[in-house]
Every structure is written in structure tokens, then in C-alpha cells.
């Protein structure tokens, strides 16, 4: 099953006999806001207009635990995540489509968490809300309680696993290249990258309107960066959000990959862990 869905295909699915549950996960990471500018409010954006029937899910509060030593967006507890998904109407036998404001990072985080915890049918709306040509709604639905029970699965890396994979397979760094090289670091303690990691900014996986490149182009890109059919692949980013977007791009390309959720925010918080700088992975 394809990991993404077009707006036209979603419209057809919503009109079908088994319409998907819709999750609105609008969120933005703002590195440099203008003085006095308030932070992005995903719930307010949802209230102003969303896909009819969609339920808002808060990335910071419901798709992540408390920031700390495990990173800025550590995983929430499985029980808490399951309760959020059931309240949103998610059941194991019902398809789910996730969307955000178009960047795709937040939607990919929800996609990855549902897939990692065992949901068999979840996709991301390619291009997000801007790709939708149908009507929007300001009505907040009250979905029937779902039955989804999350179970942790494979595909999750910790810091030691990421370090090992950078030596034995391919570990992609999904952040901007200048953060990978250590030239700038607007958020975390220090700039640079995990030794052995390969720079692969996730922004290069999409077109200017936020839609993913064709699967063949994505596959060619990742193969050129070292991801072969017999290679174990992992991804990290700043805090496990844009990295999920790269895992999604790899899935579109037909390449399975694990995610280091703690990512650079966890790695760089420990002064005992080595840091590489410059364009060379080593």
C-alpha cells in the first residue's frame, strides 16, 4: 500500500463505503519569529477551517512526551498515545489519512507513530491541506470511540543503535545541510552531526508545493546516497519530526528505514557523545 494519497483519491475514499478517519496535525517549528509574533497555533488554524470530519491532534502534547534528556519530542507513552487515537476515532480496521498545513513533517510524525505501533492502513495526504480542493468545515466532530491498541514494533532506534547503524549501514541526517555541517545551530546545544551519518535534507524529497517527488526519483536519490536493497537504513533529524518525513519519503521509494526519535536534540545534549562537523560524514 502506498504511504501517501492524493487529494483526488482521498475525495473518492471519503465518498466510499469505508471512509478513512481524518487527523489534522497542523504544526510548525518556528526557528526565528519576528519580535512580538505569537507562535503558530495549530488548533486555531484547525478551528478556522479543516477537512470535514477531521479531528485535530496536537503534535507537541499528544504525539510527543515531555521534552528533556530524551530530546525535544520524545515518544509519549503507548497508553497515552492509544487513548488519543481512540478518542479521535481510530480503529485497527479503519483506514486513516493524516494531513498538515503542507510541509508534511507533522503528518509524517503521526503516520510513523501509527505505523510503528501496528496500524495497518495509514497514509499522508500528499501536499497537505493546500492540495485539497473541496470544502472546509469549522465544525468539530465527535467521533465514535475507536478500538486501536498500539503495540511497539520494529523500526525504532536509540542513540547507541543510531551510532552503530552509521558504521554498519546508512544513517541519514534529514536536517538542513548547514546544520549537519555545524555551521549554524539555532536550537540545540551544539552543531554538527553523528559521526558517519550522511547528509540528506528531507526538503529535497519534495517539490516546491510540498508534494513528494515520484517514487523512482526518490529511489534514485537515496541509492546515490548509499541506500541499497541490502543496506540497513536509519534516519534522524533535530527531534524526530522531519526525520519521520524522510522515513515517509523512503517508504514511497520502497526502502524501509528506522527512525531515531531522540535525534540530534538527544544526541547533542550528552557531552560524552562524539560530534562531527563539516561535509564529510566522518
List residues with catalytic annotation. Answer: 237
Spatial distance between the Cα atoms of 271 and 6, rounded to a whole number of angstroms: 44
Helix axes 215-224, 242-252, angle to 10 degrees: 110
C-alpha cell at 123: 497514509
CA 226 to chain centre: 22
Burial label, 87 (beta-carbon count in 10 A; 0-12, 13-18, 19+): middle
Paired with 276 in beta bridges are: 193
Grid-cell match 503534535, residue found: 59
Q: Is the dihedral of CA 212, 159, 233, 255 positive or negative?
A: negative
Q: Tell me the C-alpha distance between 116 and 112, whole Å.
A: 6
Q: Is 112 exposed, middle or buried (0-12, 13-18, 19+ CB in 10 A)?
A: buried
C-alpha Rg value of the chain to the nearest Å: 18
Amino acid at each position: 500500500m502506498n504511504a501517501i494519497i492524493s487529494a483526488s483519491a482521498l475525495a473518492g475514499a471519503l465518498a466510499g463505503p469505508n471512509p478513512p478517519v481524518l487527523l489534522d496535525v497542523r504544526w510548525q517549528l518556528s526557528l526565528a519569529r519576528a519580535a512580538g509574533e505569537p507562535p503558530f497555533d495549530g488548533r486555531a488554524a484547525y478551528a478556522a477551517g479543516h477537512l470535514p470530519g477531521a479531528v485535530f491532534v496536537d503534535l507537541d502534547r499528544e504525539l510527543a512526551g515531555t521534552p528533556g534528556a530524551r530530546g525535544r519530542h520524545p515518544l509519549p507513552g503507548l497508553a497515552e498515545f492509544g487513548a488519543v487515537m481512540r478518542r479521535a476515532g481510530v480503529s485497527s480496521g479503519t483506514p486513516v489519512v493524516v494531513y498538515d498545513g503542507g510541509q508534511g513533517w507533522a503528518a509524517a510524525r503521526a503516520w510513523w507513530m501509527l505505523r510503528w505501533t501496528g496500524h495497518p492502513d495509514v497514509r499522508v495526504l500528499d501536499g497537505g491541506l493546500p492540495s485539497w480542493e473541496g470544502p472546509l468545515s469549522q465544525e468539530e466532530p465527535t467521533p465514535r470511540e475507536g478500538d486501536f491498541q498500539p503495540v511497539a514494533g520494529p523500526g525504532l532506534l536509540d542513540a547507541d543503535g543510531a551510532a552503530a547503524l552509521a558504521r554498519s549501514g546508512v544513517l541519514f541526517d534529514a536536517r538542513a545541510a548547514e546544520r549537519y555541517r555545524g555551521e549554524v545551530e539555532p536550537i540545540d546545544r551544539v552543531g554538527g552531526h553523528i559521526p558517519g551519518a550522511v547528509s540528506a535534507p528531507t526538503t529535497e524529497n519534495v517539490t516546491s508545493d510540498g508534494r513528494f517527488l515520484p517514487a523512482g526519483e526518490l529511489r534514485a536519490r537515496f541509492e546515490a546516497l548509499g541506500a541499497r536493497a541490502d543496506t540497513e537504513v536509519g534516519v534522524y533529524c533535530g527531534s524526530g519530526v522531519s526525520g519521520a518525513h524522510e522515513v515517509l519519503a523512503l517508504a514511497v521509494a520502497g526502502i524501509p528505514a528506522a527512525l531515531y526519535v531522540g535525534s540530534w536534540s538527544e544526541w547533542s545534549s550528552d557531552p560524552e557523545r562524539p560530534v562531527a562537523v563539516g561535509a564529510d560524514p566522518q
